[in-house]
Amino acid sequence: MIKAFDGKQPRISESAYICQTAYIIGDVQIGEQSGIWPGVVIRGDFASIKIGRRTIIEDNCVVHCGTPMEIGDNVIVGHSVVLHGKKIGNNTLIGNNATILDNSEIGEYCVIGAGCLVSQGMKIPDRSFVVGVPGKIQGEVKSAVMKRLESGNRSYLAFFEKYRKAGI
């Protein structure tokens, strides 16, 4: 369901895939070739949410914020993530069931482990590998992983067409 809220209509690129069971309201912008999967809720009711190009938000995620949020290009947000952060840099992976709290900022080429809790206001530098509750930087993302992050979303593009043809 895609709905205007408080006079603001979501702006979604024609090349983006939006599953019919996703719920998107208000001041939301979704870039080219991005994918929003089943059960995702994106609420641009309190503040704007900008999602970049080729970004994938997987099943059952909640994206909501009290201040403007920007999710970069080539980002993968894993299944059941709760995302309240301020900024997610390009080419970043947020692992399944992670929670990203208000006003946190995650740099480019980061990997946030499954189940991680990124604390309110935390600032994570580029190329950081973060795990735990609360999340702690455990190391630097290596070049081989960075290359995978740059191309990881390409496999989704074929699925977009399959889902569209199936009417899903």
For residues 19 and 37, is the Cβ–Cβ distance under 8 A?
A: yes
The pLDDT-based confidence of 111 (bands split at 50, 70, 90) is very high
The pLDDT-based confidence of 165 (bands split at 50, 70, 90) is confident
Give mean pLDDT, residues 20-25: 97
What are 92-104's pLDDT values in tens digits? Answer: 999 999 999 999 9
CATH class of the domain at 2-150: mainly beta
What pLDDT is recorded for position 156?
Answer: 84
Listed by start position, the domains of the chain span 2-150
The yes-or-no verdict on residue 157 having pLDDT over 90 is no
Find tokens 């989704």 and name the residue: 156
Least confident among 64-73, 96-105, 157-166: 157-166
The pLDDT-based confidence of 148 (bands split at 50, 70, 90) is confident
More confident call, 167 vs 30: 30
Phi-psi bin for 115: left (phi > 0), alpha (psi -120 to 50), beta? left
Cα 93 to chain center, whole Å?
Answer: 8
d(CA 149, CA 90): 9
| Predicted structure pTM score | 0.95
Any idea what the Cα angle at residue 72 is, between residues 69 and 78, rounded to 5°? 90
